[in-house]
């Protein structure tokens, strides 16, 4: 269940993403071929101020989640892993923000292609060991998570969970058909990993419906219709 603090954090994040131009409204074709009335592009957190603010949201969401973990187990993870490509910047930025907040953790990431000179291999950064948190922007099909789990375990670590910015809370596609589960639910069920999102589609709806800005209010009905049709 989402706590009041989580709800306020999520709403602040949605408003920040809109103001930064990262969360946009209109008509956008998704990978599944659907026409979505909104689009979230984390690649547009493209300057130091926006990236820093984004990583603050990740850090505070994770620290709130950590408060539910039994005493003595820390944050529930020992290091961060950023899957190429967006996850690389996110893991590095989150490591900086967590260190600023008193939790100095190592991080690593992967290359898309193995390097055959220098240090070689596909993994870069700290040795992958202990409980590893995967950091990415969204989960679309679970492919990136699956690949990350394979790399983490091959290196001697154990996946501890996944942190993302936005959970779209919509049905995934399976063999060309709409599945009864979302990509996030698939990861949770298939791999047994907790997924912590800074905000969800429900949070986005709450912000749109509660906004004093008529321009934002105008997007509430199209987003609600999309959620009704494709939501889980």
Could you give all domains of the chain from N- to C-terminal order, each with its CATH number?
Answer: 4-230 (3.40.50.2020)
Decide if 106 contacts 138 (C-beta within 8 A).
Answer: no
Q: What is the C-alpha R_g of the chain?
A: 18
Task: Quickly state the pLDDT bin for 177 (edges 50, 70, 90).
Answer: confident
Structure confidence by residue, pLDDT tens digits, 139-157:
988 889 999 999 999 999 9
The verdict on whether 60 is a catalytic residue reads no
Q: Residue 31 and residue 212: Cα distance in Å, rounded? A: 32
Q: What is the DSSP letter of 148?
A: H
Q: How far apart are the first and last CA of the chain?
A: 16
Q: Residue 170 and residue 184: Cα distance in Å, rounded? A: 9
Structure confidence by residue, pLDDT tens digits, 52-95:
999 999 999 999 988 777 666 667 899 999 999 999 999 999 99
Which range is least confidently modeled, 27-31, 45-49, 176-180? 176-180
More confident residue, 29 or 112: 29
Burial category of 15 from C-beta neighbours within 10 Å (exposed 0-12, middle 13-18, buried 19 and up)? middle
Q: Residue 170 and residue 203: Cα distance in Å, rounded? A: 14
Helix (H) or strand (E) holding 133: strand 130-135
Q: What is the pLDDT of residue 67?
A: 77
List the catalytic residue out of 8, 103, 112, 117.
117
Q: Residue 128 and residue 159: Cα distance in Å, rounded? A: 10
Helices 201-210 and 4-19 meet at what angle, rounded to 10?
80
| DSSP bridge pairs for 125 | 108
List the catalytic residue out of 29, 65, 112, 115.
115
- What three-state secondary structure class fits 121? strand
Decide if 138 contacts 40 (C-beta within 8 A).
Answer: yes
In this prediction, residues 154-175 reach a mean pLDDT of 94
pLDDT over 90 for what percent of the chain?
A: 79
Q: Residue 109 and residue 200: Cα distance in Å, rounded? A: 25
Q: What is the pLDDT of residue 2?
A: 45
The verdict on whether 117 is a catalytic residue reads yes
Residue matched to tokens 């998704």: 30
């Amino acid at each position: 269940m989402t706590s009041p603090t989580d709800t306020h954090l999520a709403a602040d994040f949605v408003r920040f993403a809109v103001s930064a131009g990262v969360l946009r409204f209109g008509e956008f074709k998704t990978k599944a071929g659907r026409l979505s009335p909104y689009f979230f592009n984390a690649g547009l957190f493209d300057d130091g101020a926006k990236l820093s603010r984004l990583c603050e949201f990740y850090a505070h969401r994770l620290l709130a989640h950590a408060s539910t973990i039994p005493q003595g187990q820390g944050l529930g993870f020992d290091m961060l892993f950023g899957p190429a490509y967006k996850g690389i910047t996110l893991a590095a930025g989150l490591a900086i923000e967590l260190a600023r907040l008193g939790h100095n953790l190592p991080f690593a990431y992967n290359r898309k292609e193995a390097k055959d000179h220098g240090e070689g291999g596909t993994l870069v950064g700290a040795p992958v060991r202990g409980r590893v948190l995967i950091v990415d922007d969204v989960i679309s099909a679970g492919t990136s998570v699956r690949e990350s789990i394979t790399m983490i375990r091959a290196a001697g670590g154990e996946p501890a969970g996944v942190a993302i910015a936005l959970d779209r809370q919509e049905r995934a596609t399976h063999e060309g058909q709409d599945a009864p589960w979302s990509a996030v639910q698939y990861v949770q069920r298939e791999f047994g990993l907790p997924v912590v999102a800074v905000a969800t589609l429900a949070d986005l709806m709450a912000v749109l419906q509660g906004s004093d800005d008529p321009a934002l209010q105008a997007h509430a009905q199209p987003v609600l219709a999309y959620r009704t049709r494709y939501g889980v």
